[in-house]
Amino acid sequence: MQLTLATFNVNGIRARKDLLLDWVSSTQPDIVCLQETKAQDKDFPAGPFEEMGYNIAYRGQKSFNGVALLSKLPLTEVVTDLPGDGPEAQARVAAAKVAGVYIINTYVPQGQEVGAPAFEHKLEFLSRVRDWLAGEFSAHDPLIWAGDLNIAPTDADVHDPKRMEGKVTCHPAERKLLQESKDWGLTDLFRMHHPEDIQYTFWDYRLPASFKRNLGWRIDFILATKPLADACMDCWVDSEPRGRVKPSDHTPVLARFDWDL
């Protein structure tokens, strides 16, 4: 069967609910990984998505972070934290098995600035994801890691690499940790299908007319182990939602699979 998976940092699911509902209704992805929902669990607007046929797993917190998985297929083995997380851990992980495929949806910390405690937290988070993959999974397992990873892996993934050199999202330490997870056995599906394309997924609100000027970053990803990379028919960025009224500062990334596993 063919299935489509999407990842989308919505930057506030209540503020962007109508936009998201319209986009999901028109696009009909089978699985949606959402980040930065910014809503406590009691305030998550599950009803409209359930009416559209989605099963939902989510973990939120007030005003910050928050992740969710929407799936037209059953969600099993749901977890909403990294191994070893305590009760005060930020809401940054929602993972589950769907049709035999384990899907990890993360909202990686942004990091603020190099040297700040938030940057060290970002490196720790990436290290823990890497260790989780290596410790609990095999690169031969059908697995997807998707979400806002807050890293531009190469200079081709940021509009002004000289200005961003050594700064957060482009720092060698975070790029190295992401590469270590990829070396474990993950393929960047967009780059697999579009090795030379300059395409971004995030345009900063604070930069004047950043979307119109295409001054962006590619920091949202769908990464997959070999069984799913081999099954991936295409992976693309849908920039249309970023051009709408009151959009998120991110836009969705989608991948289509011949999911006969």
Active site residues: 107, 148
Residues near 30 by Cβ (< 8 Å), separated by ≥ 6?
3, 4, 5, 71, 72, 73
The CA distance from 155 to 222, in Å, is 19
DSSP strand pairing (67-71 vs 31-35): antiparallel
The CA distance from 73 to 56, in Å, is 10
The CA distance from 67 to 33, in Å, is 8
Residue 182, amino acid: K
Q: Which is it for the CA torsion 43, 6, 136, 186, positive or negative?
A: negative
Q: Please, what's the b/e burial string for 190-216 (b: 16 or more CB within 10 A of its CB; e: otherwise)?
A: bbeeeeeeebbbbbeeeeeebbeeebb
* 3-class SS letters over 150-198: CCCCCHHHECCHHHHCCCCCCCHHHHHHHHHHHHHHCEEHHHHHCCCCC
Contact (CB, 8 A) for 171 and 237: no
